[in-house]
Structure formats: structure tokens, C-alpha cells
Amino acid sequence: MQLLIVGASGHGSVVADCAEAMGVYNKIQFIDDRFPTRNKIGQWPVVGTLADIIHFTDERTQVFVAIGNNQVRLKVSKVLLEDYQLDFATLIHPSAIVSPYAKIAPGTLICAQAVINPYASVGEGCIVNTAASIDHDNTIGDYVHVSVGARLAGTVNVGNCSFICINATISNNINVGEGVTVGAGAVVINDVPDNATVVGVPAKLVNTQ
């Protein structure tokens, strides 16, 4: 099996490193619109641009979109899934702990030392970054980023495209809407409406316009 990663960035190198650690891919390469100026990332080759993707995929190739921005990852993924019907990988680092009773959708990355507890579900195209934890009965939407070291207690719901920043904490039974940003280190103890940004301890709404 081969893996074609879209997006040769720092996040892309984390994705490639995870895929390599899984030991299931005999070839890992990238495409990026900065090709040919960018023709390598670390030891992995960049072989073309997004417009050429079809030339680098066949029945033995899985694709993974390694774009950190949730909205951009969503947009690119929808084109690849709906227009090209490509096979998206689910990447889970061998040091992550994922309950057999959790559900992880395709296009999602579970990074090193992350924990996903029973009856949690993580949607399509998510990033569960290094050492983040998603506890029992969480429902995480599509194209969500749970950043490095973030902690989600039991029965938390997070809407599509939300960004839970580094080291944020979300208490039990909280509903976080769609398109929300929870700032670095915030402690969320109340529900958060769609498209809001909350920061601080306890987390409060902030105007970022």
C-alpha cells in the first residue's frame, strides 16, 4: 500500500512520520502546490501539485490531506472525495491508545500518545494532535483539530471545523459548537455557541475581529 500526502508542511511531516511508524505503507510521497520549488520534505519526496493528483493514485494508493487549517482541509478533502472518489487513510500512531469501542472516521490523524476512550466518535478529516485526550462518549464532528495536549472530559460534543487549541481543557457534558476556537490553555466550563472564540480560565467569549 502507498500513501500520498497532500501538503508538504511541518504538519505533513508529522503525518508521514506517523504513517511510517504504522509500518503498512511501502511508499510515502507528497503533493504540494509549491512543487517543483518544494521537491522534498525531510526524506520524503514531493512529486507534483494537487492538479496532478490523479497521476499519482491507483488502487494501491491511499490519500491523506495534511493541511492544518480546518476550513482548507475540509475544502480540499471534499474535492478529492466527491470529484475523484479517492480512498482516504485513517492514521493512528502506534503509541496512541484507541479503545476498540471508539469510532474513528477516514481522513483522521491520531498522533503519538493521544488517547481515545470507549464510545467516543471522531469524525472525518480530524487532527487529534500529540498527547491529546478524548474521553468516553465524546462526539467530535468533522474537520476538527484537537491540538497538542488538549483534554476533553467525558461526554463532550464538538461541532464541525472547531479548533481546540494547545493545552485547552473542556469539562464534562459540554457542547462546543461548529467553527469554534477554544484558545490555548483555556478551561471550558460552559457550552460554547457556533463560531465563537473563547479564551482564559474559566473560558470567556472574546472578540477576535
Ligand X SMILES: CC(=O)SCCNC(=O)CCNC(=O)[C@H](O)C(C)(C)COP(=O)(O)OP(=O)(O)OC[C@H]1O[C@@H](n2cnc3c(N)ncnc32)[C@H](O)[C@@H]1OP(=O)(O)O
Active-site residues, by number, are: 136
d(CA 26, CA 44): 12
Residue 62: phi and psi, rounded to 5, are: -105, 155
Judged by CB under 6 A, the stretch of 45-53, 88-96, 153-161, 200-208 that binds ligand X is: 200-208
d(CA 202, CA 34): 41
Amino acid code (one letter) for 61: T
* Cβ distance to ligand X smaller for residue 118 or 200: 200
Judged by CB under 6 A, the stretch of 40-48, 95-103, 154-162, 199-207 that binds ligand X is: 199-207
147 touches ligand X (CB under 6 A)? yes
Cα 200 to Cα 11, 99, 116, 190, distances in angstroms: 26, 31, 25, 12
Q: Which of 166, 171, 175, 187 binds ligand X (CB under 6 A)?
A: 166
Q: Which of 129, 138, 162, 169 binds ligand X (CB under 6 A)?
A: 129
Question: Which 3 state secondary structure label does DSSP give 105?
Answer: coil
131 touches ligand X (CB under 6 A)? no
Residue ranges that bind ligand X, judged by CB under 6 A: 129, 147-148, 165-166, 181, 183-185, 197, 199-200, 206, 208
